[in-house]
Amino acid sequence: MSFEITGKLIEKFDAIQVTDRFRKREFVIETRDNVGTSEFVETIKFQLTQDRCDLVDNSATGEDIKISFNIRGRRWEKNDQVSYFVNLEAWKIDKLEKNDLPGDVPPPPSAEDIPPEGPTDDLPF
């Protein structure tokens, strides 16, 4: 299953060669949600792997981006202890223009902007 999220790129890390056949790179975005009068800020870390490690190169810190990603979960057991890990694995990154951001929708017209219903002149026909 694939997901998308938009946010501001706040940090990107160097690629790490984990094994001779596996490479990964992490980056962090910041999202903001307004609920009523409260604002909730989240910092979310994503992972790029293998040939996708370069996808974040074209984005600068502070830019708004849209990330397409998958959620990957793994079970790990050692010394009879079981742990579970979750990674947000990005596979596409797009730069956003200011007019692409979810919060940049113009407000609905006010009551003064809406014409009154029915005839507006005094003509009998």
Identify the CATH number of the domain in which residue 80 sits. 2.40.50.140
Query: Cα separation of 70 and 4, whole Å?
Result: 9
pLDDT reported for residue 102: 55
* pLDDT score of 115: 54
pLDDT at 111: 55
Backbone angles phi, psi at 57, to 5 degrees: -60, -35
Report yes or no on 85 lying in a domain. yes
Is residue 122 in a domain? no
53 and 23 Cβ atoms separated by less than 8 Å? yes
Residue 112 inside a domain? The answer is no
Mean pLDDT of the region 7-36: 95
- Enclosing domain of residue 31: 2-103
**Residue 34 lies inside a defined structural domain of this protein:** yes
The whole-number pLDDT of residue 120 equals 55
What is the number of structural domains in the chain? 1
- The confidence score (pLDDT) of residue 81 equals 95
Q: What per-residue confidence (pLDDT) applies to 1?
A: 75
Q: What is the mean pLDDT of the chain?
A: 86
Q: Does a structural domain hold residue 109?
A: no
Judge if pTM exceeds 0.75: no
Q: Is residue 51 included in any domain, yes or no?
A: yes
Considering the domain boundaries, does residue 120 fall inside one?
no
Considering the domain boundaries, does residue 113 fall inside one? no
Query: Token pair for residue 79?
Result: 């010394």
Token pair 């010394």 is at which residue?
A: 79
